[in-house]
Amino acid sequence: MDNAKKFDATEFKQPRKVGKIVLTVILSIVSVIYVSPIFIVLFNSFKVKTAISEELFMLPTSETFVGFENYIRGMVSGNYPFYKAVLISLFITVVTVFVILICTAMCAWYITRVNSILCKIIYYFCIFSMIVPFQMVMFTLSKTANDLSLNTPWGIVIIYLGFGAGLAIFMFTGFVKSIPLEIEESASIDGAGPLRVFFGIVLPIMKPTFISVGILETMWIWNDYLLPYLVLDKNEYRTIPIQIQYLNGSYGQSDTGAIMALVVVSIIPIIIFYFSCQKHIIKGIVSGAVKG
Amino acid sequence: MTKMKKWYFLIFVLPTLAAFAIGFIYPFFQGIYLSFCKFITTSNATFVGFNNYVTALQDDSFKYAFWFTVMFVVVSVILINVLAFAIAYVLTLGIKGSNVFRTVFFMPNLIGGIVLGFIWQQIFDGILKYYGTSIVLNETFGFWGLVILMCWQQAGYMMIIYIAGFQSIPNHLYEAAKIDGATKSKILTKITIPMMAPSITICTFLTLTNSFKLFDQNLALTNGAPIDFSTGVAIKKTQMLALDIYNTFYANNNYRGVGQAKAVIFFIVVAGIALIQLYFTRKREVQQ
C-alpha cells in the first residue's frame, strides 16, 4: 500500500522545486494585475473628481484625498439617493430568492412524484424556457408586468419567479428523482399528509440543492440590469445596476467620484457573500454547469 | 404518492405555474405573434405577415451587429477557454497558495455586467487619454475592450469547472501510464486532455452562449459607439445583437415589430446552439 500511495496524480504533473517557485511568482504577478481594477476603483473613490479624470492610476495624495466625501454625496444626495437603490436591491434579491426556492422546490417535488401528463408538460416547458434569451420576451414581459401592476419591488418577485423557474425546477427535479421513494412512503403510511412529508422529510434532504440553486439565483438577481430596468417604475424604484448605469449614462457630466464610491458599495455585499460561502458557491457552479 | 389528493396541486404547483404563465408562457407566445404584426403598443397590432422578418434581415445595422457578435464570440471563446484551462492546470499542480489564487481569479465573476462595464470604461479611458483618444471613439479599441472585459469576468468561472474536471481524473490512469513509461507530454495529450473533454465541451458552450447573448457589458462599456454615418444609415460600430434588438425596440416606436422579429431570429440561433450542445453531450454519454 505504501508503494501505491506514491502514485499520486499531482506527483506526475508536479514540476521540480525551481519550477514551482517560478510558477508561484508568475501567478502572483498575474493575480496582482487581475485584481488591480478593483483596487483602482477603491482608491479613486477617495479622490476628488478632477484628480480622477486627470490621473486615474495615481494613489490619492494629500491634495486629492477627500475622505468619504464621495460616499456621502453619492449615498444621500441627488434626485435618487443611492441608499434607496441599495435597499431595493437587497429587498428584491432576498425576497425573490426565498420565494423562488420554496415555490419551485414544492413544484418540482409534486411534478416528479405525480408525473401526470400535465406535470410532464410543465416540466418540458421549464426546460424549454432555459434556452430562451431575455430579448425574446423583453417587450411583451414588461408590457404584461405593467398591465398587471407588477412594476413594484413586490410585483417583480412574481416576474422573477416566472422567468427564473426553469433552471430551479430543472435542478430540483434532478435531485428529487434521486431520493428513494421508500422514505416518503413510510411517512405517509404513518399518516403524514403531503405537506408534512414535504416540509418534514423532503426539504431537509434537499438542502445541498437548495444552497446551489440559491447561490445561482442570488448572483443572477443581484447583478441583473435589464429585467428590473424594464419592469420597475423607474421614478420610484431603482436597483444598484440601474442607478449606476443611469449616473454613468449622462456621459461627460457624470460625477465619477460618486459613481466610484457607489461601485465600491455595490461590490462589498458580494465579497462578503463570497467569503461567507465560498465552498458552496464553487460546488453550486460545478453542479449548475454540469446540468445546464 | 399518486394517491395525493387533487387539491394539493393548488398548493404545490399553482403559485409557480401562475408566475410561469405571466413571466414566460404568455410573453413568449405573444412575442411570436407580434413578430408578424406592426404595432406600437400591444393593443393596436395589425397583422403584416413576414414583412418584419424581411425588413430585419435586410437591416444593415442588424447584419453588422450579427457579424460583429460572431467575431467577438469566436475570439472570446478561444481566449477565455485557453486562459481558464491554463490557470486550472497550474492550480492543480499543488502549488502553495492555490486557494488564494483561485479566489482572486474567480472574484470578477461576482460583479455584474453594468458595474464591470463602468470599471473598465474608466481604466481604458484612463490609458487611452494619453494617446488623445477614448474607447468610445475607436471601434478596434471597443472590440478588444469588450474581449478583455469578457475574459476578465469569465475566465475564473470556467477555471472552477476545469479544476473540478482535473480533480475527477482517476489516479489509476496516471499510475498505469507511469508504469508504461509515458513521458509528461504523452500524459498530457493522451490522458489529461481526452479525460477533460466533457469539461471542455461544457465550458465552450457556456462561453459561447454567454458571449452571444452579451448585453449589460456592451451597454455599459461603449453603448455601441462610435457611430458610422458614411453609408447613409447610422451603424453603431461596437453594437452586438442583443443591444441592436433593444435599440430597435426602444429607440424608435415604429420598428417594434421589426425588433420582435429580430428577437425571434436571435432566439432561433440561441436555441440552435443549445441543440448542438445537447447533441454533443448525448453522444458522449453514449460512448461512455
ipTM confidence: 0.89
Chains A–B, number of C-beta pairs less than 8 Å apart: 282
Compare CB distances from B122 to A56, A158, A198 and report the shortest one's residue.
Answer: A56
CB contact under 8 A, B184 and A224: no
Option in B16, B100, B161 nearest A107 (CB): B16
Residue B183 binned pLDDT confidence (cut-offs 50, 70, 90): confident
- Contacting residues of B for A7, CB less than 8 Å apart: 171, 174-175, 178
Residue B132 lies in a domain: yes
- Tell which of B7, B101, B115 to mutate to test the A interface (max A CBs under 10 Å): B115
Task: Break chain A into its structural domains and give their ranges.
Answer: 2-69, 82-291
Cell matching residue B226: 462610435
Domain region containing B114 = 64-251
Specify the CATH number for the domain of residue B128: 1.10.3720.10
Domain count across chain B: 2
Question: Is B242–A259 a contact, with Cβ atoms under 8 angstroms apart?
Answer: no
pTM value is: 0.89
User: Residue B254 has what DSSP assignment?
Assistant: G
Residues B41 and B73 in one domain: no
Q: What is the mean pLDDT of residues B240-266?
A: 91
CB-CB contact of B161 with B203 (8 Å): yes
Range name among A33-37, B1-5, B34-38, B207-211 with the lowest pLDDT average: B1-5
pLDDT attached to residue B155: 94
3-state secondary structure A215-247: HHHHHHHHHCCHHHHHHCCCCCCCCHHHHHHHH
B20 occurs within a structural domain: no
> In whole angstroms, what is the distance from residue A142 CA to residue A147 CA?
9
Print pLDDT tens along chain A (292 aa): 344 444 455 555 556 678 888 888 999 999 999 999 999 999 898 988 888 877 888 888 877 888 888 888 888 877 788 889 999 999 999 999 999 999 999 999 999 988 889 999 999 999 899 889 999 999 999 999 999 999 999 999 999 999 988 989 999 998 898 888 888 888 888 888 888 889 988 899 998 889 889 988 998 999 999 999 999 988 889 999 998 888 887 655 678 888 889 899 988 988 888 888 888 888 877 776 654 4
Note whether A101 contacts B: Cβ–Cβ < 8 A.
no
Residue B5: inside a domain:
no
Residues of A in contact with B41 (CB under 8 A): 143
Residue B27: predicted pLDDT:
95
Pick the CATH number of A82-291 from 1.10.3720.10, 1.10.8.60, 2.170.190.11, 1.10.760.10: 1.10.3720.10
- pLDDT > 90: percent of chain B: 53
| pLDDT given for residue B4 in this prediction | 64
pLDDT at A1: 39
- Which residues in chain B are closer than 8 Å to A38, comparing Cβ atoms? 107-108, 119
Q: Is the confidence at residue B285, as pLDDT, over 80?
A: no
CA atoms within 13 A on the CB side of B12: 26
Does any domain span residue B53? Answer: yes
CB B171 within 8 A of CB A12: no
- Domain assignment of residue B126, yes or no: yes
- Per-residue pLDDT band for B2 (boundaries 50, 70, 90) equals very low
Tens of pLDDT, residue by residue over B122-152, are: 999 989 988 988 888 989 999 999 999 999 9
Half-sphere exposure of A95 (CA within 13 A, CB side): 15
State the DSSP H helix or E strand holding residue B200, giving kind and residue range, or none if neither.
Answer: helix B197-212
- Check if A107 contacts B (Cβ < 8 Å): yes
Is B198 inside a domain boundary?
Answer: yes
